[in-house]
Amino acid sequence: MRSPLWTRWARGGVLVVLTLFVCAPLYVMAVSSVAPLRDVQGPFTWLPSALTLEPFSQMWKTVPLGRYFLNSAVVALAATACSLVLAVLAAYAISRYRFRGRSGFLTTVLSTQMFPGILFLLPLFLIYVTVDRTLGTELFATRTGLVVTYLTFALPFSVWLLVGYFDSIPRELDEAALVDGTGPLGALFRVVLPTALPGVAAVAIYGFMTAWGEVLFASVLTDDRTRTLAVGLRGYATQSNVYWNQVMAASLVVSVPVVLGFLLLQRALVQGLTAGAVKS
Partner 1 sequence: MSTTTPSRRGGGQAGAAPTGPLPPSAAGERAPRRRVPRTWFPHLILLPALLVELLVHVVPVLVGVFTSLLQLDQFSLRDWSAAPFVGFGNYAVVIDLSSPVGADLLRSFGTTALYSALVVGLCWVIGLAAAVALHPPFPGRGLLRTLFLVPFALPAFASVITWNFMLQRDTGLVNSLVVDVLGLTGERPFWLVGENSFASLVVVSVWRTWPFAFLTLTAGMQSIPAELYEAANVDGAGPWWRLRMVTLPMLRPVNAVLVLVLFLWSFNDFTTPFTLFGQAAPAEAEVISLHVYNSSFQTWNFGLGSAMSVLLVLFLLAVSLAYTGFLRWRRDE
Return the residues of window 9-28 that contact partner 1 according to CB under 8 A: 10-11, 14-15, 18-19, 21-26, 28
Site residues for partner 1, 168-187, by CB under 8 A, read 175, 184-185
Residue 141 in the binding site for partner 1 (CB under 8 A) = no
CB under 8 A, 24+ apart: contacts of 218-221? 218/146, 220/121, 220/125, 221/124, 221/125, 221/128, 221/140, 221/141, 221/145, 221/146, 221/149
Least Å distance, CB 96 to partner 1, is: 7
Q: Which stretch binds partner 1 (CB under 8 A): 38-46, 50-58, 59-67, 193-201?
A: 38-46
Question: With respect to partner 1, which residue has the nearer C-beta, 136 or 277?
Answer: 277
Residues 6+ apart with CB under 8 A from 99: 93
Distance from C-alpha of 187 to C-alpha of 77, rounded to nearest angstrom:
26
Least Å distance, CB 113 to partner 1, is: 6
CB atoms near residue 196 (< 10 Å)? 25
Residues 6+ apart with CB under 8 A from 269: 202, 205, 206, 262
Distance from C-alpha of 157 to C-alpha of 163, rounded to nearest angstrom:
10
Q: Which stretch binds partner 1 (CB under 8 A): 50-58, 59-67, 191-199, 265-273?
A: 265-273
Residue 276 in the binding site for partner 1 (CB under 8 A) = yes
Question: With respect to partner 1, which residue has the nearer C-beta, 87 or 177?
Answer: 87
Distance from C-alpha of 234 to C-alpha of 202, rounded to nearest angstrom:
29
Least Å distance, CB 194 to partner 1, is: 18
Site residues for partner 1, 212-241, by CB under 8 A, read 212-216, 219-220, 229-231, 233-234, 237
Where would I find the H helices in the chain?
Answer: 5-33, 37-41, 54-62, 65-96, 102-111, 117-135, 143-153, 155-167, 171-179, 184-187, 193-195, 197-213, 216-221, 229-232, 235-238, 244-264, 266-279
Site residues for partner 1, 73-112, by CB under 8 A, read 85-87, 89-90, 92-94, 96-99, 102-103, 105-112
CA-closest candidate to residue 89, choices 202, 184, 183: 184
Site residues for partner 1, 151-170, by CB under 8 A, read 151-152, 155-157, 159-160, 163, 167
Residue 148 in the binding site for partner 1 (CB under 8 A) = yes
Question: With respect to partner 1, which residue has the nearer C-beta, 53 or 263?
Answer: 263
Distance from C-alpha of 46 to C-alpha of 35, rounded to nearest angstrom:
10
Count residues binding partner 1 (CB under 8 A).
Answer: 110
* 49 phi and psi angles, rounded to 5 deg: -70, -25
Least Å distance, CB 100 to partner 1, is: 9
Q: Which stretch binds partner 1 (CB under 8 A): 47-55, 58-66, 148-156, 192-200?
A: 148-156
Residue 135 in the binding site for partner 1 (CB under 8 A) = no
Binds partner 1 by CB under 8 A, chosen from 50, 51, 119, 173: 119
Least Å distance, CB 83 to partner 1, is: 8
Contact 149/217 with Cβ under 8 angstroms?
Answer: yes
Binds partner 1 by CB under 8 A, chosen from 50, 53, 126, 176: 126
Residues 6+ apart with CB under 8 A from 215: 230, 231
